[in-house]
Chains A and B, each alone.
Chain A
Amino acid sequence: MTASPLGDYQPGTSVFHRLPVGAKLLGLLVLSVVAVAFRGVATTGGLLVLAVACCMVAGVRLGRAARALRGVVVAMTLLAAYQTWQRGAEHAFVVVGALVALLLLATVFTTTTSVDRMVDAITRWLEPLRRFGVKPELVALAFSLMIRGIPLTLAIAGETRDAARARGLERNPRAYLTPLVIRVVAHARATGDALHARGLGDE
């Protein structure tokens, strides 16, 4: 099974588990802005230290943090190589280090926030838009489905890749991508049926 780059909720009692969803998201947003607006070695270094500290405080298991990074290690390595070639090692550290730090902070968020709390928070935030025809419950449900869809899509991708390999077609992108797209769409339709059956689109 391929792990989600953002991990799953891990119950706990840390300060991050107790913080309101809005505060955590705002913190993540502020740190993302800081990473871009004050780009530099010191900022990236600080963000990395902060991210590791947050992971420790939140009780994010080492294996989970490693899995979160493993999913993007190829992209990060390519990005680091390109940045080093184009603008030097220092710039590569600034860019890739900041991305790794933000990914770890996002993992802290998803690890310490249950989807149920996210759904409740989004529903509350969107409540004023109800008068304009927005249905907050449905938007929140779509959000939670998106989160759930990440590991599912990765799992389907893993199975499809294995199936292509088993038939000796690992070098044929069509043998991988075509069934992947078909299976993801089929799964989306099946999920739609399941939601419909549970009456979750009726409100």
Chain B
Amino acid sequence: MSRIELDRVVVRAATPGGPAPEVTVLQETTLDLAEQRIALIGPNGSGKSTLARLVNGLVEPTTGRVTVDGLDVARKGREVRRRVGFVFTDPSAQLVMPTVVEDVALSLRHQVRGREERAAAARSVLASYGLEELADRSVHTLSGGQRQLLALAGVLATDPAVLVADEPTTLLDLRNARMIGDLLLGLPQQLVLATHDLELALRCERALLIDDGAVVADGSPTEVVDHYRASAG
């Protein structure tokens, strides 16, 4: 199991459109995340996504240090990103190639050099997620659930040790949300899951409640979810 460590991490961001002072998006946070499945819950704008993005280097700390298996995310970003996959809320932004098989093949460019071999490997990945019949389809024509499943397949194609998922079920209908949720929770990878779906959070080993840029509860999902429900009124 991988180990994600945040050491006195603070994230500040400039307010858009003016010389106003910076806002603190994440207050000083120190965490040691070593469980298999970790849920990040909290209200919109609380800092869940910022915390999730720190793990992959999409957001860099203003002060402090983030490491994955001892690798500093700011200094060893390339190595960290090979270890840490990321799934976004909106898969449309994540799917960058025109067809399904090409998008998965893009993920495999570092691992498989030959085009034919890469296409075959991509089809094999698609088959393992039940997407083989969609291989030559344009990504535009896929449903929301199929797009999110493809985005996930594209990330898992490189077999990362850690998967960070930022509200991956928010835009999905109930059936697809369940399908993606079950798939995520059944993965052998370490999972950091930012979510509003409290049922998913309850199936993790550890949960963190983020509010106003701070971790306000950290522990067993049952206790943390109860805390969240109580604080929401």
Count of A-B residue pairs with CB < 8 Å:
85
User: Please, which residues of chain A bring their CB within 8 A of the CB of B90?
Assistant: 190
A202 and B79 alpha carbons, distance in the complex (Å): 9
User: Please, which residues of chain A bring their CB within 8 A of the CB of B97?
Assistant: 115-116, 144, 148
What number of B residues sit within 8 Å (CB to CB) of A?
Answer: 33
Interfacial residues of chain A within 184-203, with CB under 8 A of chain B in the complex: 187, 190-191, 193-200, 202-203
User: Please, which residues of chain B bring their CB within 8 A of the CB of A116?
Assistant: 97, 102, 105-106, 115, 118-119
* A145 and B77 contact, CB distance less than 8 A: no
Interfacial residues of chain B within 90-106, with CB under 8 A of chain A in the complex: 90, 92-94, 96-99, 102, 105-106
* B115 and A120 contact, CB distance less than 8 A: yes
* A117 and B98 contact, CB distance less than 8 A: no
Least distance between B135 CB and chain A CB atoms (Å):
9
Q: Which of B82, B96, B115, B141 touches A148 (beta carbons < 8 Å)?
A: B96
User: Please, which residues of chain B bring their CB within 8 A of the CB of A151?
Assistant: 98, 138, 140
Let me know if A11 is at the binding interface, CB within 8 A. yes
User: Please, which residues of chain B bring their CB within 8 A of the CB of A203?
Assistant: 110
A195-B96, A198-B155 as given contacts; A115 in contact with B102, CB under 8 Å: yes
A145 and B96 alpha carbons, distance in the complex (Å): 6
Q: Classify the secondary structure of A's interface with B.
A: helix
A91 and B107 alpha carbons, distance in the complex (Å): 49
Question: Chain A: interface residue count, which band?
Answer: 20 to 34
Q: Which of B110, B115, B136, B155 touches A117 (beta carbons < 8 Å)?
A: B115
A203 and B106 alpha carbons, distance in the complex (Å): 13
Least distance between A47 CB and chain B CB atoms (Å):
27
User: Please, which residues of chain B bring their CB within 8 A of the CB of A200?
Assistant: 106, 109
* A199 and B99 contact, CB distance less than 8 A: no
Q: List residues of chain A with CB under 8 Å of any chain B CB.
A: 1, 8-9, 11, 114-117, 120, 137, 144-145, 147-148, 151-152, 155, 187, 190-191, 193-200, 202-203
